[in-house]
Amino acid sequence: MTALQKSAWFNLSIVTLSLVIVAGLYPFVGWAAHAGLGLCGLLGFDPIFYRKRGTEVISDEREIMIQKRSTLIGYSVFWVVFVLTASLFSPFIYGQEGSVPVIVVQLSVFYAVVLFVGVMSISILIQNIKG
């Protein structure tokens, strides 16, 4: 398994675990359940997978292209979801003249990171399966 695949599995597991924690705690503690997104701080350990050990090659041209395509896919999905939620769904939820609560704006940043990292990791794994 390459460093890119290990990194993708690690990131995907962290994102999935944090979403499971939020979903599991929400019925009991309400908005405070979103503290489970703090687990995403473990994504900062991702560079550990790219340490060079001896004469080992960390990544080649194919993996760099996979990572670039996956980043593009992640950003593309993020912008589609952002535009849909900001322009189409918000008026239905908060009304035409309604105001969006500050907590929703703050949490949207964290969920954007979760969406981006999750889609990028899935894209990396799918591209490696296709070979």
pLDDT digits (tens, 9 = 90+) for 75-125: 999 999 999 888 888 888 888 887 888 888 889 999 999 999 999 999 999
Half-sphere exposure (CA, 13 Å, Cβ side) for 61? 0
Residue 90 phi/psi, 5-degree rounding, is -60, -45
pLDDT of amino acid 33: 94
pLDDT digits (tens, 9 = 90+) for 65-76: 999 999 999 999
- Could you count the other beta carbons within 10 Å of the beta carbon of residue 74? 20
Residue 54, pLDDT > 80, answer no
SS3 content of the chain, % helix, strand, coil (to 5): 85, 0, 15
pTM given for the model:
0.88
Residues ≥6 apart with Cβ < 8 Å to 128: 2, 4, 5, 8, 66
pLDDT digits (tens, 9 = 90+) for 8-28: 999 999 999 999 999 999 999
* Number of residues that make up the chain: 131
Q: What is the CA radius of gyration of the chain?
A: 18
